[in-house]
Amino acid sequence: MDNTTITNDIQFSDAAMAEIQRYISHYPPDRKKSAILPVLHIAQAEFGGWVSAEVQDKVAEILGITPIEVYEVATFYTMFNLKPVGKHVLEVCRTGPCMLRGADQLIEHLEHQLGCKVGGTSADGMFTLKTVECLAACGMGPMLQIREKYYENLDPDSTDKLLDDLRKE
């Protein structure tokens, strides 16, 4: 689904619904709300990398809870994007150990190469650049995460190659 065309008629794919039901089964029947984080992760992957209010409403409907219960969770945890993002979200760890190993320079390099600041999206809509706090890769920094994959021990050359590869996807 396109990033900007979410409508109120939210429908998860059959595969996503099966995954949602699998997670719900992990908790006591009267504790379906426990599945909220896994379901939000599935929703974000399903609907273009972010969770709109309409998507959150759908999550509430599936779990049998009120929409506000979803909103307060989605806004608390940093992994959920609340506005549209680029095709690839680059999440650079900026915390202490990575900083010591060159995270600041990596962020500057990416800002230059993508033509946008942290928090922004490149003009072609391909990349959103974010910084995050500690990704448990402290010995392998500087690093960044794209979806479920870590890229570690980055330098300008390996970063540029990564961007080139992603542009071709």
Partner 1 sequence: MGRKILTEHINVPDIHTLAVYRKMGGYRSVEKALKTMTSEEVVEEVKKSGLRGRGGAGFPTGMKWSFLAKPEGKPRYLVCNADESEPGTFKDRVLMEKIPHALIEGMITSSYALGARTSYIYIRGELMFVLRILEKAIAEAYAAGFLGENILGSGYSLDLHVHPGGGAYICGEETALLESLEGKRGNPRNKPPFPAVQGLYACPTVVNNVESIASVPWIVNNTGEEYAKIGVGRSTGTKLISAGGHLNKPGVYEIELGLPVEEFLFSDEYCGGIWKGRQFKAVVAGGSSVPILPAHLFLKTAEGVPRVMTYESLSEGGFVSGTMLGSGGFIAMDDTTCIVRNTWNFARFYHHESCGQCSPCREGTGWMEKILHRIEHGHGHMHDIDLLVNVSKQIEGNTICPLGDAAAWPVASAVRHFREEFEWHVKHPGAATQPGAVYRGAEEAALV
Residues binding partner 1 (CB under 8 A): 26, 28, 31, 33-38, 40-41, 63, 65, 69, 72-73, 76-80, 94-97, 99-101, 132-141, 145, 147-150
Strand bridging mode 88-93 / 127-132:
parallel
The minimum distance between CB 158 and partner 1, in angstroms, equals 17
Q: Which is nearer to partner 1, 12 or 91 (CB)?
A: 91
Give strand ranges (E) for 87-152.
88-93, 127-132, 144-146, 149-151
Q: How far is the CB of 63 from partner 1 (least distance, A)?
A: 8
CB of 122 to partner 1, least distance (A): 23
Contact 136, 97 (CB under 8 A): no
For residue 144, give every residue at least 6 positions away whose Cβ sits within 8 Å of its Cβ, in sequence order, or none: 90, 91, 92, 93, 106, 110, 150, 151, 154
C-beta closer to partner 1: residue 95 or 125: 95
Residue of 59, 54, 78, 81 whose CA lies nearest to 70: 59
Nearer to partner 1, 34 or 125 (CB): 34
Q: How far is the CB of 27 from partner 1 (least distance, A)?
A: 8
